[in-house]
Structure formats: C-alpha cells, structure tokens
C-alpha cells in the first residue's frame, strides 16, 4: 500500500499537462523545490521512476503515464464525491423519505411537501402512506428517514418525540339527532349506532381503550378512513375519527362535532432510527413540520370544499 495524497496526484497531473516543473509548481501553489521533493518521494515509495528530467523539458516514463491515467480517474472521482457532499450540505440535491399514516399523508403533509420542494427543488421527496407497523419497518430498514404516527413505546432500535396531541371528533349525518350539538362527551354516544375502526389497528385499539365502559351499539367495524366516510355519508351510523380527518367527509352530508373527553386524545410522534443522524434535507423537512405546528398549534385541517 502506498500512502499518496491528492496533492501529490494533482502535482503529477500538472506535470503531465505542463511538462515544466516551475509551471506545475505555480499551478499547484507550491515551490518548485517542494514539487520536486513530492515527486521524488513518490518515486521512492512506489519503487519506479515516473518522471524523465532534462534541462529542456519534463516528460513521464511509461510507468508515469500509467500512474497519471489512474491518478486522473481517482481525482475525478474524489472531486465528484466532494461536489456531491457540498450539494447535499447546501441543499442543492438529496433525498427525503417520510412514512406517515392516514390522514397525515393525505391531508397534512402534501402542502408541506409542496412548500419544501418550492424552496429546495433539487431534493427528491418520497412519501410512504402506510399502516403504522409497516411505517416502523421502513424506518428500521433505513428506507425512510422518519415516520409520523402514533407510536407505542418503547420501540426497539427507534427513538421518538411528541410532535403534537391529536384530538377527535364525531362525524354523523346532518339529519342525525346529535348533528346540532356544538360539542359532545363520550357518554353522549350511548345507544348510538357506531361505525368503528378495526380493533387490530393502533387507532382502533386506542379508541377501544378510551371508550371502554361506554355502552356502544357497534354496527360495523372497518379499517380504512374512506370506507368510514362512505358509511357515515350513507347514514349507516356515526364514527369517532381524528379531527385532522374531517376533510374526508362530505360537508353537505356530514356534521363534524368536537368530543371533549379525558384520555381520548393521543400523542403523535416523530420516529427515527436510534443509530441514525438525519441528513441535512431530512432535518430541514422536520424543521418545516415543527414550524408549521408552532404556527398552527396542530396540523391545520385543509378546507372542506363543497362540490
């Protein structure tokens, strides 16, 4: 193994291009004596002569030609690596990969992503809209930089912090007897036909625990938010959903009523791998997310547009 610096590699390349020690030394910002010493030490290290010297000109030996050809490739690759790192540090290029569950992926993050890309057009953005378990898998596998979800804890190999506390609302048809209320308690749902989230999911489990002891008339159990929306709009029952999910429901058909109940809200976390430091682009997006939360207090719900 030879220990050669890029400074020496560039010196040999300059000699090959200029064929003159003083001109090459000037280009490399060293003295002619220093350049000569670098070349001599390199020749001693590799054990072959690389440069032919005479009074009129400097030339490379055949071994020198082969060495410089390799040196050009190495210097070009190092320059490319340096440029790539600078571009990533300066946010001219890079990648951000985020996992999020509904409705954050559908309703909250799109505008933040648009704002981020407008500021950093060279950054490639990936959004995975998945169930919580799969989100955590992608973070563990380093396919995603971080996830935004309600995370159980502690999480092996992962760390997390609370972004905000999610609130819940009741959604029901306008012709339902609860539709005119300004706010509700969970006890108000006694005897009401309820469409609930599947107990297998994290959200379903949270609601199961929060509504324990309430005599509910559960008429259907589904997994997907759009399905809940369709069933409620059809008048098949009411449902308890995260407040940020309200835009999924048709405003002409469905009323949205805040629920005031201890233990119903839940923390939403930012989750990332314990051994990983977020890159510049990923950290910049986290900063944007947190700035939005500081401004609005919680994820701003998109406007519910009437047809």
Q: Name the domain boundary from 38, 70, 89.
A: 89
Q: How many CB atoms lie within 10 A of CB 23?
A: 15
| Cα–Cα separations (whole angstroms), residue 154 to 35, 145, 252, 274 | 59, 19, 42, 12
Q: pLDDT band for position 200 (50/70/90)?
A: confident
Does 108 share its domain with 179?
Answer: no
* Of the candidate ranges 73-77, 83-87, 142-146, 280-284, the one whose mean pLDDT is the lowest: 83-87
Average pLDDT, the chain: 88
83: domain CATH number is 1.10.10.10
Give CA 25 to chain center in angstroms: 47
Q: What is the DSSP letter of 106?
A: I
Q: Name the domain boundary from 89, 115, 140.
A: 89
Does 102 share its domain with 214?
Answer: no
In a domain, 234, yes or no: yes
- Which pLDDT belongs to residue 305? 40
Tally of domains in the chain: 3
Q: Is the dihedral of CA 141, 145, 149, 155 positive or negative?
A: positive
Q: Is the dihedral of CA 34, 39, 40, 45 positive or negative?
A: positive
Nearest to 149 by CA among 177, 91, 193, 109: 109
Does 189 share its domain with 200?
Answer: yes
In a domain, 217, yes or no: yes
- Which pLDDT belongs to residue 21? 87
Q: How many CB atoms lie within 10 A of CB 90?
A: 12
| Cα–Cα separations (whole angstroms), residue 307 to 187, 232, 254, 257, 304 | 34, 18, 14, 21, 10
Segment 173-196 shows an average pLDDT of: 94
In a domain, 159, yes or no: yes
In a domain, 306, yes or no: no
Does 98 share its domain with 148?
Answer: yes
* Of the candidate ranges 4-8, 96-100, 159-163, 289-293, the one whose mean pLDDT is the lowest: 4-8
In a domain, 276, yes or no: yes
pLDDT digits (tens, 9 = 90+) for 206-216: 999 998 888 88
Q: Name the domain boundary from 72, 89, 106.
A: 89
pLDDT digits (tens, 9 = 90+) for 215-245: 889 999 998 899 999 999 999 999 999 998 9
Q: pLDDT band for position 55 (50/70/90)?
A: low
Does 161 share its domain with 194?
Answer: no
Q: Max alpha carbon distance in the chain (Å)?
A: 104
- Which pLDDT belongs to residue 199? 85
Segment 50-67 shows an average pLDDT of: 82
Does 274 share its domain with 128?
Answer: yes
Secondary structure (3-state) at 171: strand
- Which pLDDT belongs to residue 229? 95
Does 21 share its domain with 60?
Answer: yes
In a domain, 116, yes or no: yes
Angle at 300 between CA 100 and CA 160, to 5 degrees: 40
The answer to whether the beta carbons of residues 161 and 269 sit under 8 Å apart is: yes
The answer to whether the beta carbons of residues 116 and 288 sit under 8 Å apart is: yes
Q: pLDDT band for position 4 (50/70/90)?
A: confident
In a domain, 82, yes or no: yes
Does 172 share its domain with 249?
Answer: yes
Does 65 share its domain with 185?
Answer: no
> Containing domain of residue 241, as a range?
168-258
Does 57 share its domain with 13?
Answer: yes
In a domain, 223, yes or no: yes
pLDDT digits (tens, 9 = 90+) for 12-21: 899 888 888 8
Does 71 share its domain with 196?
Answer: no
Confidence check: pLDDT of 92 > 80 = no
Mutual angle of helices 280-296 and 109-119, in 10-degree steps = 130
192: domain CATH number is 3.40.190.10
Does 211 share its domain with 178?
Answer: yes
Secondary structure (3-state) at 45: helix
Confidence check: pLDDT of 40 > 70 = yes
- Which pLDDT belongs to residue 88? 67
């Amino acid at each position: 193994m030879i220990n050669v610096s890029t400074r020496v590699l560039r010196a040999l390349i300059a000699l090959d291009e200029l064929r003159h020690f003083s001109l090459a030394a000037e280009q490399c910002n060293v003295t002619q004596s220093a350049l000569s010493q670098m070349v001599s030490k390199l020749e001693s290290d590799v054990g072959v002569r690389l440069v032919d010297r005479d009074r009129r000109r400097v030339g490379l030996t055949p071994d020198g030609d082969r060495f410089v050809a390799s040196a050009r490739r190495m210097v070009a690759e190092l320059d490319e690596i340096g440029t790539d790192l600078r571009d990533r540090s300066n946010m001219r290029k890079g990648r951000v990969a985020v996992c999020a569950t509904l409705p954050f992926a559908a309703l909250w993050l799109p505008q933040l992503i648009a704002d981020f890309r407008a500021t950093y057009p060279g950054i490639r953005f990936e959004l995975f809209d998945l169930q919580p378990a799969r989100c955590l898998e992608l973070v563990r596998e380093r396919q995603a930089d971080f996830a935004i979800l309600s995370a159980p804890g502690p999480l092996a190999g992962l760390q997390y912090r609370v972004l905000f506390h999610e609130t819940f609302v009741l959604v029901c048809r306008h012709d339902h007897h609860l539709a005119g209320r300004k706010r509700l308690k969970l006890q108000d749902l006694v005897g009401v036909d309820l469409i609930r989230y599947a107990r297998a999911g994290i959200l379903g489990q949270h609601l199961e625990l929060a509504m324990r002891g309430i005599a509910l008339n559960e008429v259907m159990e589904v997994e997907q938010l759009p399905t809940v929306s369709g069933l409620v709009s059809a008048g098949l029952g009411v449902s308890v959903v995260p407040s940020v999910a309200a835009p999924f429901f048709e405003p002409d058909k469905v009323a949205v009523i805040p629920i005031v109940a201890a233990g119903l809200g839940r923390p939403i976390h930012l989750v990332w791998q314990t051994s990983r430091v977020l890159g510049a682009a990923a950290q910049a997006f986290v900063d944007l997310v947190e700035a939005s939360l500081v401004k609005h207090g919680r994820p701003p719900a998109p406007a519910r547009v009437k047809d």
